[in-house]
Every structure is written in structure tokens, then in C-alpha cells.
Structure 1
Amino acid sequence: MNQSDWFSIENDEDFLQQGVNQQKKVKSEMENIVSKYEKVILEENLIKYIVIASKNDDPSKKVNEKSRIKIKCEEKDEKANLLNPTQYLNTFKISLSSSIPLIKGFRLALLSMKEGEKAWFKISGDLLEKPDNIENSLKDHVKYYLIHIEEVSQPQQQLDVTNVENRLIQLEKFKEEGNKLFQNGDYIGAASRYLRGINFIEKWPKNLNKEKNSEKIKEDFYLVLVSNRAQALLKLKDFQECQKILEPIMQRLEQREYKIKCYYRLISCLINLEEYQKALDYINIIKEDSRYPQFEQIFKELEDDCNQGQQK
């Protein structure tokens, strides 16, 4: 065979065609993977393939521009090479309202999803460009992302606290959140949450003081929040701070159902601070309360501790 036979037009075309076929085969590896799923064309360069459809009909569980989401994301190229093997092992969080740069197509992909959904996305062309790298030409580039939305949460709208009614709602929220943290053993968190409520009352707008029940609401919540904070401080063994916040309110506790508890907490603090005489003085005061007989035994134990402490 002579040299011209090797490079005939026919052989040339066959050779080129083989190259094209091989290229199509390489490009079709990811296409074979996604072809078995339902296809949705979101944009010209963004195609969605639904792997697991979400069963959640709650509108708040659909991703929007303000959502905070927990996701897993697998990134592959056209040859089905995994590009982010370490990241995919972990769930990570994204806030769609943040300034974190995201591939335009990736952001659009997320906005088409709901909690519990899993889908492949084929992103190509300009949608692969990042805002901080717009000079990089990616028109012929294609990537595939397998995105699993594990959780969607929406930021709560800030409560308008310019009226007494809404301030009451906010105070109740501070108390309930503190109680929940306390029940879970997070005494530092609980003490901090109660303190936020106390500060909220201390910064009460003067123009609202004339509103009906405003003063009563302030007093009721202030005493409860101080009492609860004292209990958290007692758990944290911060006896000085506990004494500091309790003593000023003791005279304001008449007719309060938690009066006995506050006396018990304050007396316990004083014993730990070795202020035994002051503790005994408070024991003598609480003995005058009509409910004292129901709690006589526990206060008797505190009284014994005081007497033993004084004898040392």
C-alpha cells in the first residue's frame, strides 16, 4: 500500500467520524445517568432531572430568595468524574439571601426545589460563570449537580414592637425560649434569654407607659424573668449574681405564686455565700406566709444548714 492510500479522503473521513463518535460516547456518560429521570427544562442552559420528588406541600418549604437551606451536593463533569468527593460527604448550609457568590445556574437550580427533593441539574454556558469571574469563558463547558435539599427554613419576620400587644408577644417568646433552654440543660443559654427579656422591659418606650395595662405587663414579666434567671444562675453556681438580682424584688412578690420559690432560691444563694444570718432573716420572713406550712420541711433543712454554718 502506498502513502496516498493511507491518507485517502475516505480514510480521512472515517478517522474523523471515529473521533466524533468517541467524543459523543464520552459526553453521553452523564447523559445516560440522567436520562432515566423526569426531565424539566428550566432555562436554555439549565435542565433539571428529578430523582426524588418532594412530598412536602407546605409553601414555606419551597426554596426562595430568603431561605436558609441544608443541602448535599454532588458535582460531576460530562465524563461522570466526581469533582467534589470530600464536600459531598457533609451536609452544608446556605442562606440564599447572603452575599455568598453562587454560580448563577446553581442558584436558579436551588430556587426550583423544595425540602425533601433530590435532582440532577445540567448547567452549561453562561450559567456556569461566577459573578467574580465573568471574564472566564465557559460557553462550551457543562457540569452536573446532584442536589438534595434536606431542610428549608424561612427567617421569621421581625415583630413590630411599637405597641403594647406585640411587646407582650415578644416577652412571652423570651420567656418560653428561656424555659425550653433550661429544660434542655442549657443554663447559660436560658440565663441569657431571660436577660434579653429583662433588658427589653428596661428599654420600654416612654410613650407606651400610658397604654392600658402597660405597667402591669412590665411588672408581671419583669418579676417572672428575674425569678427564672435566678434559677438558671443557681444551677450555674453564680451565687453572687443570683443574690444581686433577687434581693431587689423580694418586697414586690406579695400575691405572686412563685414567691416561695424566690425565697428558697435567695436563701440557698446566701448559704452558699456563707451569709448565714441574712439567710435566717429571710427564713423568718417567709415563715409568715400563709403557704409556708406546705414547704416547712425544705425550709427547715435550710435553717439547719444556716445553724451548722454559724457554729463552724
Structure 2
Amino acid sequence: MSQEIQKEEEKENQSPIVSKVYENVIIFKNLQINMDETLKKYQEQQIGPDIYKYNVISLPDNDKIQNDSKLKIFCEERDFNGILQNKDKQVQLNRFSMKSPKPELNLIKKLLLSMHVGEESWFKICNFSNQNEDSNENDKQTTVFRYFKIKIVEQQIIEKPLDLTALENRFLQFEKFRKDGNTLFNNSQFENAIKKYKKGINFMEAWPKIYDQDIQVQQKKKYYYYLFCSNMAQSYILLKEYEKAIMILEDIIPQCRGNEFEIKSYYRIIVCYMKTREFDKAERYLREVKHVCQLDVDQSQLFNWLEKECKPLKKVKI
């Protein structure tokens, strides 16, 4: 061992207070805390017969911890005298599954279920037990106190699969494909977003025939089809894969007359044909959108601008 390292270790052992920082959480390895004084700072809340909670950081609007979630937590344990327990395991970032069958974790699970993501709390636990098994009934019971300071850093919720025999759950599944795809899209993960939208379309193709006779169900189902196709087309455009976007848009434009996807699809296919320098086709769709669709002032100005952009480009020899 080098002399420098030895000096550092001697200095640490001699120091009455040694601290270590883990992501803004400070733990004092050799510091004894007065637990009564510490807990007086916070409002007491009883969450069990022998369990009391003291909120250090309270975020009641955040997600509540769920039974089937996975967590990242900091956990600090001290005894009645404020001495740190299990020093080697303290204040490490632990991954914790609420489904863990370990008996020693049952108590911690109860504490976690009273918390929200981002919260930090002290817990005072009073466990009553006899001093020894041979003691008489007249022997006094001793109170053993345990203190835990827990911070919830992150929660991952394990989603249960939907019962797809119920019609409402099938539409909830559509919503899930939409939200997951849009999240990926907003994070510029366009290829993965396309995969999610395609899953939505594939899920639609495996539709039970029993629901096909309901007109409202058919309309709602078509809405999601146009939505997935429209979002896929825009994803391909941003990937500069214009031919793939054109294939989708040419297919859905005749189907979505009068709905919210019609004008949007015309705009996108015109842009795609301008990008691929197929100006005759771009002009054809420009004429069509003006003839078929009821455009408001802003939309008319947008397509007039596209037409002005298209005409000079058409004259350029390649």
C-alpha cells in the first residue's frame, strides 16, 4: 500500500464525521443522529399499527407506487440511537421489485406503497417482542425501534395484458399503439414509430367479425386506420423515404374524403412528389385538392404557395 493511500485511510478513520454523496443524497458514515429531534421537523402520519411516516419531500401529485411495479430507491436504516445499520448497503441505488417473494422485504413493501414517485420520507417502526423466549408473562416487553429513510427515484409499471375479448379493450389497445408510436415519433425515433403504427394496423386486421355489423364501431376502427397510415407517412417523409410515403398516401386519400386526414394527406403527397421531382403528379394533386376539398383561407394560401414553388421547378432541366 502506498504511503499516500495509507495517510488518506488514517485521516478518514480519525475524522469524527465522514460523508459520502450519492446523487444529492448525503450519508454520514460515522455520524450519530438524534432521531427524535430529526423527526420533530416533519408532520407525523400513522400508516400502520406500529408504523409512522414523516415526509421530508412530499409530492402528492406524482404517480402512486403500485403493487406490481419495479422501483429504483435509496434506503437508509438507523437504530434507536441513530446509528447507521448495514453500512455497506446504505444509500446505494437499488432496483426493487414489488413482486419479490423475499420475506424480509414485506415490511419495506408496506412503506413503499404509502409513497409517490419522487418522495423522500422517514419511517419509524415499533416492533414489540419479549426479551427472551423463557421470560415470564410478568416480564416487561421491550420496544425495538427501526428507522428507514426512503427516497423513490423511479418507478417502472408492469402493465397487465388487456382482455381483448371486450370491445372497449380493443380500442384501448389502439390507443396504446397510438401513444407509444407518438412518443417514439416525438423523440425522432421514426423507424420504431413506424413499427408501432404497423402493429396497430396488423391488430386491426385480426378483428372479430362479430363487431363488423356495428356502424359506429366500423367508423371508429377506420379512424384509427387513417391515423396510423397518416402517421406512418409522415415518419417516412422525415426519413426521406418519399416513395414509401407516397404508396400509403395514394391509398388512403380516396378513402378519407371529408375527414381530418384528407387535406393533410394531400399536402404530404404533393410535397413528396416535389421532393422526388415528379412535378406533373404534384400539379395533378394540387388541382385535385382545390377541386375536391373545401379549403379555408389558410389552406388555400398554403396550396397556392406550393403551386408557385412547383411551377418554376418543373421548368428546370435535370
Instruction: Specify the TM-score bucket, using the shorter chain as the normaliser.
Output: 0.5 to 0.7
Identity of aligned residues (%): 29
289, 311, 314: which one pairs with 1:307?
Answer: 314
* Residues 1:197 and 2:204 are matched in the alignment: no
TM-score normalised over the length of structure 1: 0.62
Task: Please say which structure displays the higher CA radius of gyration.
Answer: 1
CA offset at residue 83 of structure 1? 0.8
CA offset at residue 222 of structure 1? 0.8
206, 209, 214: which one pairs with 1:211?
Answer: 214
Gap regions ≥5 residues in structure 2: 1-29, 128-145
Per the alignment, residue 82 of structure 1 pairs with 87
The structure with more helix, counted as a fraction of residues: 1
Q: Aligned partners of 2:267 and 2:111: how far apart in 1?
A: 57
Q: What are the superposed Cα offsets for residues 131-172 of structure 1, whole Å, 9 maximum, x if unpaired?
A: xxxxxxxxxxxx986432245565455443324444334334
CA offset at residue 66 of structure 1? 1.3
The structure with more strand, counted as a fraction of residues: 2
Q: What are the superposed Cα offsets for residues 209-236 of structure 1, whole Å, 9 maximum, x if unpaired?
A: 2234232222222112211221122122
TM-score normalised over the length of structure 2: 0.61
Q: Is the 8 A contact 2:283 2:307 kept in 1?
A: no
Per the alignment, residue 71 of structure 1 pairs with 73
Q: Is the 8 A contact 1:279 1:306 kept in 2?
A: no
Aligned-pair RMSD on alpha carbons? Answer: 4.3
Shifted more, 252-261 versus 159-168: the winner is 159-168
260, 263, 276: which one pairs with 1:260?
Answer: 263
* Residues 1:112 and 2:111 are matched in the alignment: yes
243, 248, 251: which one pairs with 2:246?
Answer: 243
Q: Aligned partners of 1:79 and 1:181: how far apart in 2?
A: 44
Per the alignment, residue 283 of structure 1 pairs with 286
Q: Indicate how the Cα distance of structure 1 residues 303 and 110 shifts in structure 2: closer, same or farther if over 3 A, else same.
A: same
Q: Aligned partners of 2:52 and 2:167: how far apart in 1?
A: 51
Q: What are the superposed Cα offsets for residues 232-275 of structure 1, whole Å, 9 maximum, x if unpaired?
A: 22122222321232222222122223322212212222333343
Which amino acid counterpart does residue 231 of structure 2 have in structure 1?
N
Q: Is the 8 A contact 1:34 1:120 kept in 2?
A: no
248, 272, 275: which one pairs with 1:272?
Answer: 275
Q: Indicate how the Cα distance of structure 1 residues 121 and 64 shifts in structure 2: closer, same or farther if over 3 A, else same.
A: farther
Q: Indicate how the Cα distance of structure 1 residues 59 and 241 shifts in structure 2: closer, same or farther if over 3 A, else same.
A: closer
Gap regions ≥5 residues in structure 1: 1-28, 125-142
Query: Number of residues paired by the alignment?
Result: 256
CA offset at residue 290 of structure 1? 4.1
CA offset at residue 306 of structure 1? 4.9
Q: Aligned partners of 1:206 and 1:42: how far apart in 2?
A: 52
CA offset at residue 32 of structure 1? 5.9
Q: Aligned partners of 2:166 and 2:260: how far apart in 1?
A: 28
Per the alignment, residue 3 of structure 1 pairs with none
